[in-house]
Amino acid sequence: MLWIIIALMVFIIQIASIIIVEYRRPNKAVTWLIVLFIFPLLGFFLYYFLAKEYSCQRTLRRKNNRHWKQFKADLINRCNRRITKDMPEANVWRENIMHASLKNITSVPITACNEVTVYTEGEEAYESMLESIAAAKHHIHIEFYIIRDDYLGTRFKQLLIRKAREGIKVRLLYDGIGSRLLGKVFLQQLRDAGVETGCFFPPLVTFFDKRINYRNHRKIVVVDGKIGFFGGLNIGDEYVGKDPKFGYWRDTHFCLTGDAVLWIQYTFLTDWYLVKEQTITDSVYYPIQECPGKELVQIVKSGPDETILELIFSIIVTAKKRIYIETPYFIPDPGVLLALKTAVISGIDVRVIIPAVPDKKLIYNASLSYVQELLQAGVRFYCYQKGFIHAKVIISDNLACSGSANMDMRSFCGQFELNAVFFDGKVVDRLVQDFYRDLSTSNEILLSEFEKRSRIQKTKEVFARLLSPLF
């Protein structure tokens, strides 16, 4: 009898602990309570090690980050000086509510004088990256969530080794979980050639430090501080369509020249500082940009304490005509869910493209649990049929946001991401064209047909949705 009372008291303490810590995030609290009820001891063990709130800013302050704060302010002033009063860009913030929101939500300013290239297939994007790396004169900075030791990974490795031996400074960051299969030999060969490497949150260390649930999902290449790549592509053969399960791989990646590259560089070097504790702010890494382009770009650097959720919400609620979304994972938070419903009720054209074949079944079932609810509201959903769609794009009227962030809770609040906002211009037009082309190879999900799915499938969706705040 005493053991029962003790066990009950321990269980009550565990419940109370979760409620006290997570009271500001009720959806997450309910999810962890469900896990706790299903797995009484294991559930709290997982919660203790996986649910700790992580603050990048506190970590930086603990490492005496005054230098970075001042450097960022100087960089902002430098970019603002490039926007003169006679340029249309000078008044962009006053044009509408969306632009004003972007100014206040993000910590990085809009940049002018950019030129943007959009890639929709991995092969073309990788060839452009490799060509730029091969032409590097001073430094190469690379950061990816996933790096594989396969044919494509070997091409990158060999080129980086060659450039390092030529005397070019090469720095490589990889995520500890995303690149967990990357062998020691692969990394040692890079180090032996002079490439500096860093692991963002090694699994074992961060597990005991309760940070394993926070991953670096960014995909960055910066060459000589003048050319920047980012988007949805990692380094692996599947991203060029060589995975027999998925076949053709549809993604969206970008190449930038211009002032926006300074902020991609800033993102990489602050990550490098977190991992290696090396402060790198020399002017040679932030050269004067001589790009003649006219595109407006705002880099959006997000993480556990610098979330992208407010930005996505603002993009949706300020739309007047259209909201187009492409995402491999669709798990909106309650605010975004309500915003999409409100938009379509207001007569806005809201369309969402998701994969027809999932790569993660549990997350896919969670995504489907939201489909019926939004179909009933009037949102139109499409399943991409040509292969696997990994593009992460949101188009709102004449503005677009794209990069590494998915439309799910992990990208909203738990992962380090890098996106960009593109304003009215050729980039937005190109992304709209890509969206319509993807629609032509997608099948629309009809509510009448979707409601006929089996009870087993519906049960899977209910269970997955209950766990979705953890995804």
Last-in-domain residue among 16, 33, 50: 50
Residues 154 and 274 in one domain: yes
Q: What is the DSSP letter of 330?
A: B
314 in the same domain as 268: no
**138 catalytic residue (yes or no):** no
User: Does residue 118 share a domain with residue 20?
Assistant: no
Same domain, 354 and 226: no
Residue 303 lies in a domain: no
Q: Do both 252 and 365 map to the same domain?
A: no
Candidate from 16-30, 140-154, 431-445 with smallest mean pLDDT? 16-30
390 catalytic residue (yes or no): yes
Choice among 237, 349, 397, 424 that is catalytic: 397
Mean pLDDT of the chain, nearest integer: 85
CA distances from 387 to 262, 333, 353, 465 (A): 35, 27, 13, 25
Chosen domain end from 296, 321, 346:
296
pLDDT band at 297 (very low <50, low <70, confident <90, very high): very high
| Closest of 390, 397, 406 to residue 468, by C-alpha | 406
Q: Is residue 278 part of a domain?
A: yes
392, 434, 438, 460: the active-site residue: 392
**Of 295, 259, 265, whose CA–CA distance to 282 is shortest?**
265
Which of 428 and 75 is assigned the larger pLDDT? 428
CATH code where residue 179 lies:
3.30.870.10
| Residue percentage of the chain with pLDDT more than 90 | 55
Average pLDDT over residues 236-243: 94
Residue type, 407: M
Pure H helices in 135-259: 151-165, 184-192, 203-208
User: Is a pLDDT exceeding 80 seen at residue 45?
Assistant: no
Does residue 291 lie in a domain region? yes
Q: Tell me, yes or no, whether 95 and 6 share the same domain.
A: no
pLDDT, position 60: 47
Gap between the Cα atoms of 429 and 431, Å rounded: 6
Same domain, 350 and 367: yes
97 versus 430: the higher-pLDDT residue is 430
Distances (CA, A) of 82 to 79, 110, 141: 5, 11, 25
Q: Of 296, 331, 358, which one is at a domain's C-terminal end?
A: 296
The confidence score (pLDDT) of residue 76 equals: 83
Q: For position 201, what pLDDT does the model report? A: 83
| Chain centre distance of CA 2 | 50
Q: Which long-range contacts (CB under 8 A, 24 or more apart) does 65-71 make?
A: 67/279, 67/281, 68/270, 68/273, 68/279, 68/281, 71/281
**Which of the residues 175, 224, 408, 438 is marked catalytic?**
224
The CB density around residue 117, as the number of other CB atoms within 10 Å, is: 15
Nearest CA to 343 out of 307, 384, 395 is that of 395
Same domain, yes or no: 33 and 75 = no
pLDDT of residue 43: 59
Structure tokens given for 144: 């990816």
How far apart are the C-alpha atoms of 109 and 186, rounded to whole Å? Answer: 38
In this predicted structure, which of 229-243, 291-305, 327-341 has the lowest mean pLDDT? Answer: 291-305
Has 458 been annotated as catalytic?
A: no
Same domain for 44 and 61: no
**Residue of 157, 217, 226, 253 marked catalytic:** 217
Please give the average per-residue pLDDT across 239-249, as a whole number: 91
Q: How many helices (H) and strands (E) does the chain have?
A: 18, 16
- Total tally of structural domains belonging to the chain: 3
pLDDT at residue number 10: 58
Is residue 397 part of the annotated active site? The answer reads yes
Same domain, 108 and 134: yes
Is 334 in the same domain as 444? yes
Question: pTM for the whole thing?
Answer: 0.87
Give pLDDT tens digits for 165-221: 999 999 999 999 899 889 899 999 999 999 999 998 887 655 544 455 678 999 999
**Structural domain range at position 153:** 56-296
Does position 24 have pLDDT exceeding 80, yes or no?
Answer: no
Q: Would the pLDDT of 442 be above 70?
A: yes
Instruction: Say yes or no: 141 and 212 in one domain.
Output: yes
